[in-house]
Amino acid sequence: MKKIHILPAHIANQIAAGEVVERPASIVKEFLENAIDAGAGRIKVHLEDGGKRLIRVIDDGCGMGRKDLELSVERHATSKIREESDLASIRTMGFRGEALPSIAAVSRLTITSRPEAALEGWRVRVVFGRNKAITAAGCPQGTAVEVEDLFLEIPARLRFLKRRGTELGHVARIIRIFAVSYPEIMFELSSDGRTVFRSRPGTEGVESMWPLAGDDLVRRMISVRGGGGELSVSGYISPPEEGRASSSGFYFFLNKRPVSNRLLWKALNEACRGIMRKGMHPVGALFLEMEPGLVDVNVHPAKQEVRFAQPDSVFRVIYHAVKKAMEHGGELSGQCLHRAGAGEREKTNVLYEQIQAGPGKGRCQDAGSVTLGQAVTEASPGTDLCPLPWETSLDDSRGHTDPGRRADIVRPMGDGEVQARPSGEEDLDPIGQLAGTYVLAQGSNGFVLVDQHAAHEGIIFKRLKREFLQKKNLNSQPLIFPEILERNPEDLAGIKEVSSILSQIGIEAEAFGDSEIAVRAVPEFIASAPGTKKIVTELIDRVLELRHRNASDLMHELLASIACHSAIMAGQKLGRQEMQALLKELSQEGVTRCPHGRRVSYYIGLDEIEKWFGRR
């Protein structure tokens, strides 16, 4: 008796659908790609119950005749490629011929279509991969696709779908992404009879970024231009001071297709390192243009992952274009990339090789695979990150290369030392500030160098943590006038889910219309801080991005962020009394590290100093 048999077609299609159909947003993405390939100038999307009950997409594209319509729901039926060589020159959004049969296997699928020259249209209907039927239908030119009862016959998949608002947010995000890539097309999204999004056809330049960045930030975005060899890159990026705590606000497009590749994220992150504050990410998009033969888009059925034939060149072009735009804050000419000297090319080559080496070979952490809109997760404090190739230590630049000698001269105060000075030392007397950032204080047996921001941040963090443990929430300060923040529908849906977490840290926020959040109260610690709106935006970003993490870890991140924004800044001038107060509080709270794990002080003993001058 044989044990191996061929699966029925509808079961095989249900299994294959798992790679293409994850949620309603996956279906909408496939339908949008087909409509764009059909030359549509207007695409309408309507959802009911977040797409679980109904997804309807209508376009005014070229349409299909009866024979094409009948074949369209068969597996591997496509009009995009005809022979093997076509795979090396793909310029259309779709090409695999898998989406429609996969969707038909897990729903009730109806497609109605009419080409321009035909007098009547046709309708094909497939019910969960079975009972295909085609009939004549009256309809305008174009195609209308309807998906009903998604995953109704697959309860295991249905249980993984989220609430209506969450699924709507994912769909809205996909539509906004395509609206940026194709600003000439009119995109409309409605949900349960209510208009959620409508694009603005004809917008050009930075104005076309509004669906992703919002009208306010768009006015301050920096133009990015560059190129080299077969690749050209253009786009827009937020100024360094306008970074977000979440990486989900940045996108890559390759020949207008939204894509993901860990090399692209790494080039962006390295270019922003040292320019943007640690832990912050830019908002914006980069549009890459290159010959289709130099990139493989046939990596995954979702068509988001790509592989480059010349990844080192891609890394260099993106790195230089973003770096120069962020440093100079203006438009770049692609010529500057061709003039890069051999030394600069060697530096980026070394950095690229470190990335490719992975754990155990280079010093850089492996970024792993990322999905659309996700950046490489930053390592936790203490992880050995790869430095910029031109970074050298102060000791190396002065010839002090013996690590043992450096450790003897300047030593960090140990974790066991809870005072801001050596044990048994009298109160420290502030001498002054170094570079407006470090407080120098002396005692009878040496002096201590204190990072004023890290020290104050550690003090505030300890107090916030104590307050939270006692009351299970932080004090909040109501605002006379609410702060209005522009957000996408995905974030609006998420706000409802995280409202209890926000309330615990003193933020009262709620959805305000279809694209804004109203913040009515903020944590007391930051109520009088400059830039409260920006701080609250960062806190909301962190909650939305980290909401699925362990509750203790999440609260640590949030309290650390509040402490960071509330603390004395690096470069802030302090008077003698302020320095004395800081040193006293540091001693009283027993802080040796900031919440990010950095040392707050280093002790240099008098005996070490005397050795330097030959007195011992």
Query: How many structural domains compose the chain?
Result: 3
Would you say residue 2 lies in a domain? no
> Which residues have a Cβ under 8 Å from the Cβ of 162 and sit 6 or more positions away?
23, 50
> Quick one: three-class SS letters along 437-455?
CEEEEEECCEEEEEEHHHH
- Tell me: do 280 and 236 sit in the same domain: yes
pLDDT surpassing 60 at residue 403 = no
Residue 363: pLDDT above 60?
no
CB atoms within 10 A of CB 87: 14
Q: What is the pLDDT of residue 179?
A: 94
Structure tokens at 579: 């320095």
Render pLDDT for 257-307 as a digit per residue (tens, 0 to 9): 888 888 999 999 999 988 887 778 899 999 999 888 887 776 555 556 778
The label of the residue with tokens 């490629």 reads: 81
Q: In the block, which residue shows the tokens 């080409």?
A: 115
Residue 22: strand, helix, or coil: coil
Give Cα separations from 548 to 197, 258, 497, 545 (angstroms).
Answer: 28, 26, 11, 8
> Which residue is associated with the tokens 């001498």?
431
Average pLDDT over residues 160-174: 88
How is residue 292 annotated by DSSP?
A: G
CB atoms within 10 A of CB 83: 6
396, part of any domain: no
* Residue 132 parent element (H or E): strand 130-137
pLDDT at 50 (0 to 100): 92
Distances 2 to 5, 6, 9, 10 between C-alpha atoms, Å:
8, 11, 20, 22
Burial of 524 (0-12, 13-18, 19+ CB in 10 A): middle
Measured between alpha carbons, how far is 250 from 213 in angstroms, rounded to an integer? 9
Q: Is the pLDDT of residue 246 over 70?
A: yes
303 shares its domain with 328:
yes
Question: Alpha-carbon distance 265 to 246, whole Å?
Answer: 13
Q: Same structural domain for residues 220 and 342?
A: yes
Q: 519 and 465: one domain?
A: yes
- pTM of the complete model beyond 0.85: no
Q: For 331-360, how does the pLDDT look when each residue is reduced to its tens digit (9 = 90+)?
A: 433 333 333 344 444 444 445 444 444 433
pLDDT digits (tens, 9 = 90+) for 457-474: 999 999 888 888 888 888
Does residue 183 sit within a domain? yes
- Give the pLDDT score at 345: 44
Q: Say yes or no: 179 and 287 in one domain.
A: no
Of the three residues 336, 357, 378, the one that is the final residue of a domain is 357
pLDDT at residue 85 in the model: 58
Q: What is the CATH number of the domain that holds 50?
A: 3.30.565.10
Higher pLDDT, 60 or 229: 60
Q: What is the CATH number of the domain that holds 314?
A: 3.30.230.10
Query: Which pLDDT tens digit goes with each residue over 518-570?
Result: 889 988 877 777 778 888 888 888 888 777 776 777 788 888 888 888 888 88
**In the prediction, which pLDDT does 135 show?**
94
Task: Please list, residue by residue across 561-575, b when 16 or more beta carbons sit within 10 angstroms of its beta carbon and e when fewer do.
Answer: bbbbbbbbeeeeebe
Q: Are residues 412 and 537 in the same domain?
A: yes
Give the single-character DSSP code of 293. Answer: G
Q: How far is CA 602 from CA 12, 438, 507, 585, in A?
A: 65, 11, 36, 17
Q: Give pLDDT, residue 278.
A: 77
Cα dihedral value 51, 56, 60, 62, nearest 10: 100
Rounded distance between C-alpha atoms, residue 474 and residue 504, angstroms: 6
Q: Does the pLDDT of residue 406 top 60, yes or no?
A: no
Position with higher pLDDT, 584 vs 417: 584
Based on the domain organization, do 481 and 612 belong to the same domain?
yes
For 380-391, the pLDDT digits (tens) are 333 333 333 323
Q: In what order do the strands lie in the sheet with 130-137?
A: 130-137, 121-127, 108-114, 142-148, 54-59, 42-48, 186-191, 194-198
Cα separation, 193 vs 196, whole angstroms: 9
User: Considering the domain boundaries, does residue 526 fall inside one?
Assistant: yes
CATH of the domain at 488: 3.30.1540.20
Domain that holds residue 443: 408-616
* CB atoms inside a 10 Å sphere around CB 131: 10
* Lowest mean per-residue pLDDT among 105-119, 476-490, 581-595: 476-490
- Cα–Cα dist 273/384, whole Å: 15
Of 4-18, 52-66, 372-386, 411-425, least confident by mean pLDDT is: 372-386
Beta strands in 304-391 (DSSP E): 307-308
Same domain, residue pair 193 and 245: no
pLDDT of residue 162: 85
What strands, in cross-sheet order, belong to the sheet with 446-451? 411-412, 601-605, 446-451, 438-443, 429-434
How far apart CA 561 and CA 542 sit, in angstroms, is 9
Residue 134 predicted with pLDDT over 80: yes
Alpha carbon distance 608, 473 (integer Å):
47
Higher pLDDT, 364 or 41: 41
Confidence of residue 499 (pLDDT cuts 50, 70, 90): confident
Q: Indicate whether 373 belongs to any domain.
A: no
What is the signed CA dihedral for 8, 10, 16, 17, rounded to 10 degrees? -170
pLDDT of 372 over the 50 cut = no
- DSSP codes, 32-68: HHHHHHTT-SEEEEEEEGGGTSEEEEEE-S----HHH
**Claim to verify: residue 249 and residue 125 sit in the same structural domain:** no
The residue-averaged pLDDT of 110-117 equals 93
Whether residues 144 and 239 fall in one domain: no
Number of Cβ atoms within 10 Å of the Cβ of 435: 7
Average pLDDT score, the chain: 78
Residues 468 and 610 in one domain: yes
pLDDT digits (tens, 9 = 90+) for 407-437: 333 444 444 333 334 443 457 888 899 888 9
Measured from the Cβ of residue 330, the count of other Cβ atoms closer than 10 Å reads: 10
- Give the Cβ contact number of residue 542 at 10 Å: 21
Structural domain includes residue 375:
no
CA 51, chain centre distance (Å): 25
Q: Per-residue confidence at 127, pLDDT binned at 50, 70, 90?
A: very high
Cα end-to-end distance, the chain, whole Å = 92
State what percent of residues in the chain have pLDDT above 70: 77
DSSP codes joined into one string, 379-397: PPTT--PPPPTT---HHHH
Rounded alpha-carbon distances, angstroms, from residue 99 to 124, 134, 303: 15, 19, 11
**What's the pLDDT band for 16 if we cut at 50, 70, 90?**
low
Point out which residues pair with 232 in neighbouring strands. Answer: 227, 289
Q: Which two tokens stand for residue 178?
A: 């395509």
Residue 391 covered by a domain: no
Let me know if residue 400 belongs to a domain: no
pLDDT at 122: 94
Residues 498 and 597 in one domain: yes
Is residue 190 predicted with pLDDT exceeding 90? yes
